[in-house]
A and B are shown apart, each in its own frame.
Chain A
Amino acid sequence: MAMKQAEDLREKYLRQSMFPTIFCDGCGIGNVLNYTLWAIDEIELDIDRTVFVSGIGCSSRLTGYVNADGLHTTHGRALAFATGVKVANPDLTVIVFTGDGDGSGIGGNHLLHTIRRNIDMTVILVNNYTYGMTGGQVAPTTPMGSITTTTPYGNSEWPLDVCEVARALGAPYVARWPVTFPYQPIKSIEQGIRKRGFALIEMLAPCPTAYGRRNNLRALDQSWKWYKDHSLLVEEYERIERFGTDAERATLQGKIKVGVFQDSERECFSDQWRAVVERVKLKA
């Protein structure tokens, strides 16, 4: 079989009339789209029966590029809209593109409850540490000390770890990868779509224009190196955390846990609801 090319995926799955994209040079969101298309092509997903839902922000623009049914909604509310789609028609596959601000800031409450209900959907949350579309303001995920337009003297808040929240809530599938890892995200997106239940794949993506340039991560090679240097597989991270020496534990400072955080089974909402209907539905 011939090697898959990004050009072929672009031809097959994207709306040609939407090009060029809105994304800046060096933005990692295009990589996320590439990995997503690769994954849906690998599992031969029926694109006619798939709905892409998003909120507002740079990453939420991804729904517009995919030639499929798409619901580009209001800021933070993608998961609530997506819940309506999935619950009303459980036969559809629902994939959500959201960002860190959209999905964990303004939309944080919907994230909690969509996971709690275990709605069967795949959420690809692009975390670029900032509100990129509005020019780079502090986000719930912005690292402590980072410079943004609204933290000109350095961020004084602790960042939110979205994957840890999802794991704590019992999401059946949780993974985090930087876009600098090309193969693992594809695998995780495949696994997420196949998972019957809520799947969260957090993608760490550089934003050179709005975040990087204020934090010494403007150049592409610089930012990609930063993600590589700061990423540590979750298994290794947690091994050191539990069993490492003091010296080993000190190396965890500033490291980001990446990998598959959770891969488990839990009955999803639609299955639970179907059981209710079977029990109480009237006979004609």
Chain B
Amino acid sequence: MDRNLIRKALGAKVQFIQGDEACAYGALLAGCTFFGGYPITPATEVAEVMARLLPKIGGCYIQMEDEIASIAAIIGASWTGAKTMTSTSGPGFSLMQENLGYGIMTETPCVIINVQRSGPSTGQPTLGAYGDMMQARWGTHGDHEIIMLCPANVQESLDLTITAFNFAERYRTPVLVFIDGELGHMRERVIIPEDDEIAIVNRTISNVSPDEYVPFGVNGDLVPAFAPFGAGYHTYVTGLTHNEQGLPRASSAEVHNRLVRRLADKILNNTDDIVLYEELETDDCEILLVSYGITAGVCRDVVATARQRGVKVGMLRLITIWPFAEEAVARLAQQVRMMIVSEMNMGQIIHPIREAVAGRCDVRLISKIGGALHMPAEIMEAVEQWR
């Protein structure tokens, strides 16, 4: 793909755009050439930008008949060697669960943007929420690991979509980028990074002959080399439990164990690379605000206010949600008196936090649902009250 063409399609280096648009920009910068999608509020703008820009760079946009077909199409397209993406919101993400598992089981790189809205069911289509955090982790059936990133602002929606593609390619697995309706529709100043400011990772392509190729055989890093369809490698891809040759061995406990544990380990053995987070004023903090997504901006404000008032407050901002930053949380749990978790749901990420804290400090939730963001004042009030 011609990098100049991508930059020409994106336009000016500094733009005032929405979170949804930023995700699409990030995808194009990462090298995405195929998008399969289905309209859904508040994620539709991601698809609209891809529909407008992909043909300009010679890529392909196809609007599928539903979200099940969208994720199916991007997985199929990925097997031709393309970098592929879809976007959706809660109801669509629910429909994608089965094929998300298929993508994990078949080690297919692809990226899924979820611009979250309130549920259950149709809920509040136009308003933001973070109600799908646990569905992302456990929504598809069976034992598995998942990689999920949570940008906090529009610039990061662009930057982390690039990171998501890199993780997808590096670890050969679907990667989720979760924002929300508020961030998806919020406009901010965005700087499109230069090529020398971003790393672009491409999946490792097999360099052995088809006769020697073992499609799901691995070396040290547990990620098999990829052979695109049409290259003469005759790869059989199945969601059934399969051996290293890719052939079904659905009744073998041994093959299943080896496969499913490797799929988990290729992610869990690389948490140093995958688990991203930001610490703010944590050196001496006694109260830690734990946040992610759009709420992080609110918590950043609270940290500044608290410090002005002489209260030792810090923030841990989770950027990678899954795999979970348990080491960082456990380390800070030994230092702080209390963690305050602000979530735009009824308390989801508080559960792995409590598990990592393991009783070493107090953990409290400020839950907010219904579409409104947390106000800095209400978190500050809680800090004052609970300190």
B69 touching A89 by the CB < 8 A rule? Answer: no
A83 touching B229 by the CB < 8 A rule? Answer: no
A84 close to chain B: CB less than 8 A: yes
Q: Determine the chain B residues whose CB is within 8 A of the CB of A269 once the complex forms.
A: 62
Of the candidate stretches B76-84, B130-138, B196-204, B278-286, the one touching chain A is: B76-84
Interface residues of A in 67-102 (CB under 8 A from B): 67-74, 77, 80-85, 87-89, 91-92
A85 touching B56 by the CB < 8 A rule? Answer: no
B247 close to chain A: CB less than 8 A: yes
Please report whether the interface of chain B is mostly helix, strand, loop or mixed according to DSSP.
Answer: mixed
Cα distance A208–B211 in the bound complex, in angstroms:
39
Interface residues of A in 240-284 (CB under 8 A from B): 269, 273, 276-277, 280-282, 284
A84-B237 contact, Cβ under 8 Å, with A89-B80, A109-B65, A284-B5: no
Interface residues of A in 9-46 (CB under 8 A from B): 15, 17-18
Closest residue of chain B to A22 (Cβ to Cβ) is B248
Closest residue of chain B to A53 (Cβ to Cβ) is B76
Q: Determine the chain A residues whose CB is within 8 A of the CB of B57 once the complex forms.
A: 281-282
Closest residue of chain A to B233 (Cβ to Cβ) is A69
Cα distance A72–B108 in the bound complex, in angstroms:
13
Interface residues of B in 18-65 (CB under 8 A from A): 33-34, 36, 55-58, 60, 62, 64-65
Nearest-Cβ distance from residue A49 to partner chain B, whole angstroms: 5
B64 touching A83 by the CB < 8 A rule? Answer: yes
Partner of A84, one of B75, B102, B232: B75
Cα distance A277–B52 in the bound complex, in angstroms:
11
Partner of B58, one of A83, A87, A91, A277: A277
Q: Determine the chain B residues whose CB is within 8 A of the CB of A82 once the complex forms.
A: 76
Cα distance A15–B248 in the bound complex, in angstroms:
12
A225 close to chain B: CB less than 8 A: no
Q: Which of A77, A84, A113 has the most CB of B within 10 A?
A: A84
Q: Determine the chain A residues whose CB is within 8 A of the CB of B55 once the complex forms.
A: 273, 276-277, 280-281
Nearest-Cβ distance from residue A267 to partner chain B, whole angstroms: 16
B4 touching A284 by the CB < 8 A rule? Answer: yes
Nearest-Cβ distance from residue A179 to partner chain B, whole angstroms: 24
Partner of A64, one of B79, B230, B236: B236
Q: Determine the chain B residues whose CB is within 8 A of the CB of A77 once the complex forms.
A: 68-69, 72, 99
B8 close to chain A: CB less than 8 A: yes
Q: Determine the chain A residues whose CB is within 8 A of the CB of B82 once the complex forms.
A: 88-89
B235 touching A69 by the CB < 8 A rule? Answer: yes
Nearest-Cβ distance from residue A48 to partner chain B, whole angstroms: 4
Q: Determine the chain A residues whose CB is within 8 A of the CB of B98 once the complex forms.
A: 74
B84 touching A74 by the CB < 8 A rule? Answer: no
Cα distance A182–B70 in the bound complex, in angstroms:
37
Cα distance A72–B81 in the bound complex, in angstroms:
17
A51 close to chain B: CB less than 8 A: yes
Cα distance A74–B98 in the bound complex, in angstroms:
8
Closest residue of chain B to A117 (Cβ to Cβ) is B62
B237 touching A72 by the CB < 8 A rule? Answer: yes
Number of A-B contacts (CB under 8 A): 148
B68 touching A51 by the CB < 8 A rule? Answer: no
Q: Determine the chain B residues whose CB is within 8 A of the CB of A49 once the complex forms.
A: 230
Closest residue of chain B to A111 (Cβ to Cβ) is B65
A110 close to chain B: CB less than 8 A: yes
A141 close to chain B: CB less than 8 A: no
Cα distance A87–B35 in the bound complex, in angstroms:
11
Nearest-Cβ distance from residue A73 to partner chain B, whole angstroms: 7
Interface residues of B in 260-307 (CB under 8 A from A): none
Closest residue of chain A to B66 (Cβ to Cβ) is A109
Partner of B34, one of A17, A84, A91, A277: A84
Cα distance A112–B66 in the bound complex, in angstroms:
12
B238 close to chain A: CB less than 8 A: yes
Closest residue of chain B to A70 (Cβ to Cβ) is B236
Q: Determine the chain A residues whose CB is within 8 A of the CB of B229 once the complex forms.
A: 51, 69, 71, 85, 89, 92
A223 close to chain B: CB less than 8 A: no
A64-B239 contact, Cβ under 8 Å, with A81-B76, A84-B73: no
B234 close to chain A: CB less than 8 A: yes
Cα distance A68–B233 in the bound complex, in angstroms:
8
Q: Determine the chain A residues whose CB is within 8 A of the CB of B34 once the complex forms.
A: 84, 87-88
Nearest-Cβ distance from residue A65 to partner chain B, whole angstroms: 10
Cα distance A39–B250 in the bound complex, in angstroms:
31
A71 touching B76 by the CB < 8 A rule? Answer: yes
A281 touching B58 by the CB < 8 A rule? Answer: yes
B194 close to chain A: CB less than 8 A: no
Cα distance A51–B99 in the bound complex, in angstroms:
19
Partner of B80, one of A85, A110, A112: A85
Closest residue of chain A to B61 (Cβ to Cβ) is A273
A83 touching B69 by the CB < 8 A rule? Answer: yes
A73 touching B84 by the CB < 8 A rule? Answer: no
A63 close to chain B: CB less than 8 A: yes
B74 touching A84 by the CB < 8 A rule? Answer: yes
23 A-B contacts (beta carbon < 8 Å): A48-B234, A69-B234, A69-B236, A71-B237, A72-B237, A72-B239, A73-B102, A80-B64, A80-B68, A80-B69, A80-B73, A81-B73, A88-B33, A88-B60, A88-B76, A88-B82, A89-B80, A89-B230, A109-B65, A109-B66, A277-B58, A281-B56, A281-B57
Please report A residues at the B interface, Cβ cutoff 8 Å. Answer: 15, 17-18, 48-49, 51, 53, 63-64, 67-74, 77, 80-85, 87-89, 91-92, 109-110, 112-113, 269, 273, 276-277, 280-282, 284
* Contacts A48-B231, A112-B65 known; 5 new A-B pairs at CB < 8 A: A51-B79, A73-B239, A81-B76, A89-B82, A280-B56
